[in-house]
Chains A and B, each alone.
Chain A
Amino acid sequence: GQNIDQPTEMTATEGAIVQINCTYQTSGFNGLFWYQQHAGEAPTFLSYNVLDGLEEKGRFSSFLSRSKGYSYLLLKELQMKDSASYLCAVRDRDDNFNKFYFGSGTKLNVKP
């Protein structure tokens, strides 16, 4: 099976930077995704990594190290609206079909 671990909850201050870590173990790694989920809403796609390194999209960046089974999501210039759960998901390829495994999510609380 796949194991995906991320912290349960984090708190940060508006305007600051926060890093949410994710570690994973998978047999057929084919990409790592980060999703944002506001309370009561569906997850929405934030970022994607398949190769090692940093991917930047505005205030959000995501990093991947495949050899270490490690990723992080970096949120800069935090805003109150960034308060949400952040889900780390691994795409696993089996017989040419993709399957997604999700972590339990990290609840981020942004304080004024």
Chain B
Amino acid sequence: GAGVSQSPRYKVTKRGQDVALRCDPISGHVSLYWYRQALGQGPEFLTYFNYEAQQDKSGLPNDRFSAERPEGSISTLTIQRTEQRDSAMYRCASSLTSGGLSTDTQYFGPGTRLTVL
């Protein structure tokens, strides 16, 4: 696609429900990142994929959060038993490569605004 897309753009859910957030990266991009961004803050790293392999999940807050990228393209971030503190903007970004290419940068999607009531 032309850019990174995410769906849904807005999600309102009740506490205790599970949610699944989808990210469709730029076609051919190897790396995919998930971030959480609070209002007035920079993106906070959650997890990172290189193709289908989850290379780093150190930023996931707890075991209610999980992510997958089974075919090395689309990724899903799942939050189980949502809590009010999970309310935030969840952003996905992709980059062309995973290695040290100096010009490689990230391209961000529009984000999913999650509100847990």
Instruction: Please report A residues at the B interface, Cβ cutoff 8 Å.
Output: 4, 30-31, 33, 41-45, 48, 50, 87, 89, 93-94, 96-105, 107
Contacts and interface: CB of A to CB of B under 8 A. Distances in A.
Interface of B: 31, 33, 35, 40-45, 48, 50, 55-56, 91, 93, 95, 98-100, 102-111
Given A97-B55, A100-B45, A45 B105 contact: yes
A43 to B, nearest CB: 5
Contact of A99 (B40, B48, B107, B110): B48
B42 A104 contact: yes
B42 A30 contact: no
A87 B100 contact: no
Nearest to B105: A45
Contact of B98 (A31, A98, A101): A98
